[in-house]
Structure 1
Amino acid sequence: MFRSEINAGLLKSSVDTVSVLVDECKVRLDEEGLSIKAVDPANVGMVELDIPAESFESYEADDELLGLNLVRFEDIVGMANKGDTIVMELDEETRKLTIRIDGLRYTLSLIDPDSIHQEPNVPDLDLPGDIDVAGRELRRGVKAAGMVSDHMAFGVSEQSSDGASTGSTDVSDDGTFYMRAEGDTDDVRVDLGEDDLISLDTGGEEAESLFSLDYLDSMAKAIPNDAAVAVEVGDDYPVKMNFELAGGDAHVTYLLAPRIENE
């Protein structure tokens, strides 16, 4: 069985974090809450979403595994106002999901979970660079990089770069998290020192990885401006980004594989 009531704003923002990568996914429901693990068709980007039971206005669930068409589900949820309550209930006989928003009642057909891409295993990465950065700063860097290139680098250095590289010497000498992109004619770089970040730990190492901007841009748009994003980076390793929605009512993890350039 499954029946729940949830704030529309929370459900919308949660679904957005998944739909930037996939059009359909498996949804796991149990007494602990709702969880989704999905990887895009190219196996480049991965997302993990958890909405604990206490984040719902009401929640009842046995162990269920649903296959969800996110495109149709987003269209339905998008008809709700931010402060509305969305009621969802699974019909165990028809295996359809009933969604109610005020006077609106929509019956959504589900997908056979076996027909959906297998859920990924989240790798346990021990990466040297550990940064906590505001969502707005991350989005700003990604947006700037998109003006000059289709890929960008995340990196950490123990020392700030010189003024000739960054255009500014006002960067922490204790370490820097940087985002940079190089185009055919123009370059862009954003350096954030300890004073610009929530926290910074370079692990005593310098590291940099290159990523596709298509993926980073989609992920960044789903991250709230006021979110504290825990970013973990290594040298030619995937980047891991963790953040919360609605003050901790949902937790999201993104993992993005690096783009390795041939020498």
Structure 2
Amino acid sequence: MLDATIDADVFRESVDAIAALVTECRLHATEQGLRTRTVDTANVAMISLELEKDVFESYQATSSEMGIDIVKIKNVLSMMGKGDQVHLALAEESRKLEVSFQSYQYSITLLDTNTIRKDPNAPTIELPGKVVISGAALSAAIKAASVVSDKIALGIDPEKGIFYMEAEGDTDHIRLELGDDKLISLVPVQARSLFSLDYLKDMGKTMSKAEKVEISLGIDHPVEFTFDIADGKGHVMYLLAPRIEAD
């Protein structure tokens, strides 16, 4: 069972964060709020999202699991205006999520959760390098790198005390170095991995709105991005596997 009301902009930001990686997910409703954890079809990237119950104008739920078609939800959200309140309702044993706002009432058929892959386990990998940067600065660097290449190296040089982002194409090259004066914080541990810009561009659209994003890095390891939404009452984590560099 679910009966909740939430600001349309907060709901839209949450759905956009999920849509950056997947088109469907298992959404779990509990007494504490909503959450999902899922990986993309290529098993390259994962998202974990949590919305605390305090995000909602009103919230009541019992433990339930819903198969959500993210594309359908985004289409419904496109009809909502700024400042709208969205009411979400799921009755016991119902196969439909009722979504209401203004004078509109949508009844969206849920996906069969048996057709959606199970939630992945939480990552346990050690990523010692830590960088905290504004979401706008991170997104701008990702966009700049995509002009010259389809991949980007993220790294930390502890001797220089910098975080760097570097991309190299067939003929062009870009490198951005950021020190303490341009970062919120830095744990200067040697780190460097190469990543697909196709994934990072999609993630960057959501991360661009975050006041700060924590980046966790290792050497030829995945990268983890964590940031808050909904005034700190919502939490997003992206995990992206590295690309293998050619010799």
TM bucket normalised to smaller: over 0.9
Of the structure 1 ranges 117-126 and 66-75, higher mean CA displacement relative to structure 2 is found in 117-126
**Counterpart code for 1:180:** E
**Counterpart code for 1:183:** G
Contact 1:132 1:229 in 2 (8 A): yes
**Counterpart code for 1:234:** G
SS of aligned partner of 2:203 = helix
Contact 2:137 2:208 in 1 (8 A): no
Deviation at 1:202, TM superposition (A): 1.5
Cα deviations by residue, 1:30-51 (Å, 9 ceiling, x for unpaired): 0010001110000001000000
Of the structure 1 ranges 88-97 and 229-238, higher mean CA displacement relative to structure 2 is found in 88-97
SS of aligned partner of 1:188 = strand
- Name the structure 1 match of 2:128: 128
SS of aligned partner of 1:252 = strand
Distance 1:73 1:222 in 2: 17
Percent identity of the aligned residues?
42
Q: 1:197–1:56: structure 2 CA closer, same or farther, 3 Å change rule?
A: same
Correspondence 1:197 to 2:183: yes
Detail structure 1 runs of 4+ shifted over 6 Å in the superposition.
none
Distance 1:14 1:8 in 2: 10
Q: How many residues of Structure 1 are paired with residues of Structure 2 in the alignment?
A: 247
Deviation at 1:117, TM superposition (A): 1.7
Distance 1:237 1:176 in 2: 19
Deviation at 1:109, TM superposition (A): 0.3
Rg larger in structure = 1
Match of 2:192 among 204, 208, 231: 208
Cα RMSD (Å): 1.1
Q: How does 1:168-183 map to 2 (within 5 A)?
A: 175-183=161-169
Distance 1:122 1:180 in 2: 29
Cα deviations by residue, 1:115-152 (Å, 9 ceiling, x for unpaired): 10221112123212101000011111101110100000
**Counterpart code for 1:23:** T
**Counterpart code for 1:201:** V
- Unpaired runs of at least 5, structure 1: 161-174
Deviation at 1:215, TM superposition (A): 0.4
Deviation at 1:225, TM superposition (A): 3.5
- Unpaired runs of at least 5, structure 2: none
Deviation at 1:102, TM superposition (A): 1.2
